Protein backbone atom coordinates (compact mmCIF):
# COMPACT_ATOMS: atom_id res chain seq x y z
CA UNK A 1 0.00 0.00 0.00
CA UNK A 2 1.37 3.40 -0.95
CA UNK A 3 1.18 6.36 1.34
CA UNK A 4 0.75 9.95 0.24
CA UNK A 5 4.46 10.43 0.93
CA UNK A 6 7.28 10.58 -1.58
CA UNK A 7 11.06 10.56 -1.54
CA UNK A 8 12.49 13.33 -3.70
CA UNK A 9 16.06 13.25 -5.01
CA UNK A 10 17.71 16.27 -6.63
CA UNK A 11 21.24 16.61 -8.02
CA UNK A 12 22.56 20.15 -7.59
CA UNK A 13 25.87 22.05 -7.36
CA UNK A 14 27.07 22.24 -3.75
CA UNK A 15 26.91 26.04 -3.76
CA UNK A 16 23.11 25.89 -4.21
CA UNK A 17 22.34 23.42 -1.40
CA UNK A 18 21.61 26.02 1.28
CA UNK A 19 19.39 28.14 -0.99
CA UNK A 20 17.44 25.04 -2.04
CA UNK A 21 17.10 23.88 1.57
CA UNK A 22 15.85 27.30 2.71
CA UNK A 23 13.30 27.57 -0.12
CA UNK A 24 11.95 24.04 0.39
CA UNK A 25 11.74 24.51 4.15
CA UNK A 26 9.81 27.77 3.64
CA UNK A 27 7.19 25.69 1.74
CA UNK A 28 6.91 23.37 4.76
CA UNK A 29 8.36 20.44 2.84
CA UNK A 30 11.31 19.58 5.09
CA UNK A 31 9.29 19.03 8.26
CA UNK A 32 9.32 15.64 9.98
CA UNK A 33 7.55 15.50 13.34
CA UNK A 34 8.96 18.26 15.55
CA UNK A 35 11.88 19.00 13.20
CA UNK A 36 12.31 21.09 10.09
CA UNK A 37 15.16 21.50 7.56
CA UNK A 38 15.26 17.67 7.40
CA UNK A 39 17.19 16.46 4.35
CA UNK A 40 20.32 14.58 3.43
CA UNK A 41 23.06 15.78 1.11
CA UNK A 42 25.70 13.43 -0.28
CA UNK A 43 28.60 14.46 -2.48
CA UNK A 44 28.62 12.77 -5.89
CA UNK A 45 30.28 13.31 -9.26
CA UNK A 46 27.95 14.28 -12.10
CA UNK A 47 28.70 13.62 -15.78
CA UNK A 48 27.00 15.21 -18.79
CA UNK A 49 27.46 16.18 -22.42
CA UNK A 50 25.37 19.09 -23.70
CA UNK A 51 23.90 18.35 -27.12
CA UNK A 52 23.29 20.80 -29.94
CA UNK A 53 20.75 23.41 -28.85
CA UNK A 54 21.60 23.12 -25.15
CA UNK A 55 22.46 26.15 -23.02
CA UNK A 56 24.58 24.51 -20.29
CA UNK A 57 25.18 26.00 -16.84
CA UNK A 58 28.72 24.67 -17.20
CA UNK A 59 30.57 22.68 -19.84
CA UNK A 60 30.49 23.05 -23.60
CA UNK A 61 28.19 21.69 -26.28
CA UNK A 62 29.50 18.36 -27.59
CA UNK A 63 32.04 17.84 -24.79
CA UNK A 64 31.71 15.42 -21.86
CA UNK A 65 32.04 17.20 -18.54
CA UNK A 66 32.13 16.12 -14.92
CA UNK A 67 31.98 18.05 -11.66
CA UNK A 68 31.22 17.57 -7.99
CA UNK A 69 27.53 17.83 -7.12
CA UNK A 70 25.30 17.04 -4.17
CA UNK A 71 22.44 14.59 -4.17
CA UNK A 72 19.69 15.96 -1.94
CA UNK A 73 17.13 13.51 -0.53
CA UNK A 74 14.04 14.38 1.47
CA UNK A 75 10.46 13.30 2.18
CA UNK A 76 7.53 15.19 0.73
CA UNK A 77 3.78 14.82 1.25
CA UNK A 78 1.68 14.36 -1.85
CA UNK A 79 -0.14 17.60 -1.13
CA UNK A 80 3.08 19.58 -1.51
CA UNK A 81 4.65 17.60 -4.35
CA UNK A 82 3.71 19.87 -7.25
CA UNK A 83 4.78 23.04 -5.38
CA UNK A 84 8.00 21.28 -4.39
CA UNK A 85 8.95 20.32 -7.94
CA UNK A 86 8.07 23.82 -9.18
CA UNK A 87 10.31 25.35 -6.48
CA UNK A 88 13.17 23.01 -7.36
CA UNK A 89 13.02 24.14 -11.00
CA UNK A 90 12.84 27.78 -9.89
CA UNK A 91 15.92 27.61 -7.63
CA UNK A 92 18.01 25.09 -9.60
CA UNK A 93 20.69 26.57 -11.90
CA UNK A 94 20.65 23.77 -14.48
CA UNK A 95 18.70 23.94 -17.72
CA UNK A 96 17.60 20.30 -17.20
CA UNK A 97 17.77 19.40 -13.49
CA UNK A 98 17.57 15.74 -12.50
CA UNK A 99 14.63 15.33 -10.12
CA UNK A 100 13.50 11.84 -9.07
CA UNK A 101 10.20 11.31 -7.23
CA UNK A 102 9.62 7.88 -5.67
CA UNK A 103 6.47 6.76 -3.82
CA UNK A 104 7.09 5.56 -0.28
CA UNK A 105 5.57 2.46 1.25
CA UNK A 106 4.35 2.59 4.84
CA UNK A 107 6.10 -0.49 6.20
CA UNK A 108 3.68 -0.63 9.15
CA UNK A 109 0.86 -1.47 6.73
CA UNK A 110 2.65 -4.38 5.05
CA UNK A 111 1.22 -7.69 6.16
Domain ranges of the chain: 2-42+71-109
Top CATH class of 2-42+71-109 equals: alpha beta
DSSP category for residue 51: P
Contact predicate 11/46, CB 8 Å: yes
Write down the pTM of the prediction: 0.87
Q: What is the pLDDT of residues 23-32, one digit of tens each?
A: 999 999 999 9
Q: What is the pLDDT of residues 39-73, one digit of tens each?
A: 999 999 999 999 999 999 999 999 999 999 999 99
Query: Quick one: which of 87, 81, 70, 73 has its CA closest to 26?
Result: 87
- DSSP state letters, 63-99: S-EEEEEEEEEEEEEGGGHHHHHHHHHHH--SSS--E
Amino acid sequence: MYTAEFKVEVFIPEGYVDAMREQLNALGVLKVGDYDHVLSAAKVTGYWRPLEGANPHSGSVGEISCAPECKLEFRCSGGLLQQTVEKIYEVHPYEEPVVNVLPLVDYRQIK
